[in-house]
């Protein structure tokens, strides 16, 4: 028996990773902070049913639907739903089949498949409304982060970056992908929270209906340029990449995109989730870090910079402190323990390193 939150789960032959507890805890907090009794929740890749069961037991919502297309997983969901005395709809079906035949829309949709979200986003858009919250996990980090660039181009339609920025670029490629499909259905996306946790990339979005909403989120997508020679980077929104030369050293730059260049967090939402989690389980170091993170595209890896500059290593905390003393915004980042996010330019950062 595996106990998590208020759920008591028998695994059977279904998939359950205890290491994903943090992301499930945040997801429960997210639903608890945003749902009412009538909110309709779809746990579209239920596995053992742990998420749907926790949403039912730990939030106000009492309208939970759980799907799984694998027979053993479906049996496990049914057993766990009965054992936990949960009144939910459980279906032995695929997301694709379900969304083609179901009527009505959901307020929350959780997709947590094996691998990436690529094959599922188009289908879930058939059962959404203005304001639907999407909670989406990808575990194909190797694809999104550039170990297999052709797979990223094929699945996500984007060129990835394969360097120290690859994880942040990967999650931004994932959001760009959702924004592109949402726009086809006349929806825009608001990004409420993005989390990189080991090999999980999880995003929490809210859909906004209408042509203006769709176009305004597409306007927040574009390209990242990176100079391998000096570490300078720039980004530009738009459908066509224009900049290619490094304005610091004149070298050609590598380009990744399209990717999301808007905010990664809604800090009001993050604060709500933090206080919920603090009340339930003490603290959440991961969310504290996110709450403190300066929400600007891309960080500077201090060890990568000191290596390039051939200078002594320096703690990222020290660099943050020095940048702040000079009046700049500067914080650590969830994407790299040695990374710094700041609004200072690369020249000022170099001054704070030496
Ligand atoms: C990673 S597991 C889910 C884990 C679960 N959400 C948790 O937190 O423990 C992915 C599940 O998605 C199911 N699945 C994969 N593709 C699916 C599809 N197209 N429709 C419905 N379920 C699917 C698999 O059978 C598997 O049980
Ligand atoms: Zn350069």
* Band of pLDDT at residue 74, cut at 50, 70 and 90: very high
- Pocket lining for ligand 1, CB < 6 angstroms: 14-16, 20, 24, 45, 47-48, 50-51, 67-70, 73, 94-96, 112-114
Residue ranges of the domains in the chain?
2-221+259-270, 271-353
Measure 240 CA to ligand 2 centroid, in angstroms.
21
- The pLDDT of residue 244 is 81
**CA 254 to ligand 2 centroid distance, Å:** 10
Kindly identify the ligand whose nearest atom is closest to the C-alpha of 251: 2
Instruction: For a ligand 1 pocket test, name from 28, 50, 69 the mutation site with the most ligand atoms within 8 angstroms of its C-beta.
Output: 69
The rounded Å distance from CA 304 to ligand 2 centre is 14
Token pair 């909670």 is found at 135
Mean pLDDT of 322-350: 97
Alpha carbon distance 26, 290 (integer Å): 12
Q: Render pLDDT for 274-333 as a digit per residue (tens, 0 to 9).
A: 999 999 988 889 999 999 999 999 999 999 999 999 999 999 999 999 999 999 999 999
What is residue 5's DSSP assignment? T
Say what the pLDDT of residue 44 is.
98
The residues with which 90 forms a beta bridge, in sequence order, are 66
Q: Measuring CA to CA, which residue among 161, 70, 157 is closest to residue 118?
A: 157
CATH number for 2-221+259-270: choose from 3.20.20.100, 3.40.50.150, 3.40.1110.10, 3.30.460.80.
3.40.50.150
* pLDDT range class, residue 198, cuts 50, 70, 90: confident
- Dihedral, CA of residue 275, residue 276, residue 279 and residue 283, to nearest 10: -60
Structure tokens at 98: 């379900």
What's the pLDDT band for 150 if we cut at 50, 70, 90? very high
pLDDT band of residue 218 (cuts 50, 70, 90) is: very high
Cα–Cα distance measured from residue 296 to residue 234, given in angstroms and rounded to the nearest whole number? 12
pTM above 0.85, yes or no: yes
Nearest alpha carbon, ligand 1 atom 27: 47
Q: Are 111 and 89 in contact (CB under 8 A)?
A: no
What is the reported pLDDT for 256?
97
For residue range 243-272, list pLDDT tens digits in order.
789 999 999 999 999 999 999 999 999 999
Fold topology of 271-353: Phenylalanyl-tRNA Synthetase; Chain B, domain 1 (3.30.56)
Least confident of 17-21, 216-220, 323-327: 17-21
pLDDT value of position 334: 97
Min mean pLDDT across 123-127, 168-172, 196-200 is at 196-200
Helices (DSSP H) in the chain: which residue ranges? 21-34, 50-58, 71-83, 95-101, 121-124, 141-144, 149-156, 166-184, 211-218, 267-281, 285-292, 302-309, 316-325, 346-353
Is 226 strand, coil or helix?
Answer: strand
Atom from ligand 1 closest to the CA of residue 120: 19
């Amino acid at each position: 028996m595996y106990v998590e939150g208020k759920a008591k789960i028998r695994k059977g032959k279904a998939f359950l990773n205890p290491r994903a507890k943090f992301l499930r805890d945040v997801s429960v907090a997210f639903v608890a902070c945003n749902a009412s009794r009538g909110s309709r929740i779809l746990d579209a890749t239920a596995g053992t049913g742990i998420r749907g069961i926790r949403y039912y037991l730990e939030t106000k919502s009492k309208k939970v639907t759980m799907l799984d297309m694998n027979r053993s997983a479906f049996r496990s969901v049914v057993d766990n739903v009965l054992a936990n005395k949960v009144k939910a709809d459980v279906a032995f079906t695929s997301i694709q089949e379900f969304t083609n035949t179901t009527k009505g829309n959901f307020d929350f949709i959780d997709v947590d498949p094996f691998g990436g979200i690529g094959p599922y986003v188009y289908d879930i858009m058939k059962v959404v409304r203005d304001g639907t919250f999407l909670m989406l996990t990808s575990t194909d980090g190797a694809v999104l982060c550039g170990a297999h660039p052709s797979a990223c181009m094929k699945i996500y339609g984007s060129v990835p970056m394969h360097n120290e920025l690859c994880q942040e670029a990967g999650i931004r490629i994932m959001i760009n992908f959702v924004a592109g499909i949402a726009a086809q259905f006349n929806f825009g996306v608001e990004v409420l929270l993005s989390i990189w946790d080991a090999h999980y990339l999880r995003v929490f979005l809210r859909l906004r209906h209408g042509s203006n909403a769709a176009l305004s989120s597409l306007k927040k997508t574009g390209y990242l340029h990176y100079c391998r020679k000096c570490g300078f980077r720039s980004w530009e929104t738009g459908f066509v990449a224009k900049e290619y030369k490094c304005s610091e050293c004149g070298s050609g730059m590598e380009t990744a995109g399209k990717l999301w260049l808007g905010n990664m967090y809604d800090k009001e939402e993050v604060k709500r989730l933090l206080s919920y989690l603090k009340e339930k389980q003490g603290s959440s170091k991961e969310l504290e870090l996110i709450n403190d993170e300066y929400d600007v595209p891309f960080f500077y890896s201090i060890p990568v910079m000191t290596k390039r500059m051939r200078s002594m290593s320096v703690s990222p905390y020290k660099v943050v402190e020095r940048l702040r003393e000079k009046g700049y915004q500067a914080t650590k980042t969830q994407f790299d323990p040695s990374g710094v996010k700041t609004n200072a330019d690369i020249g000022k950062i170099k001054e704070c390193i030496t």
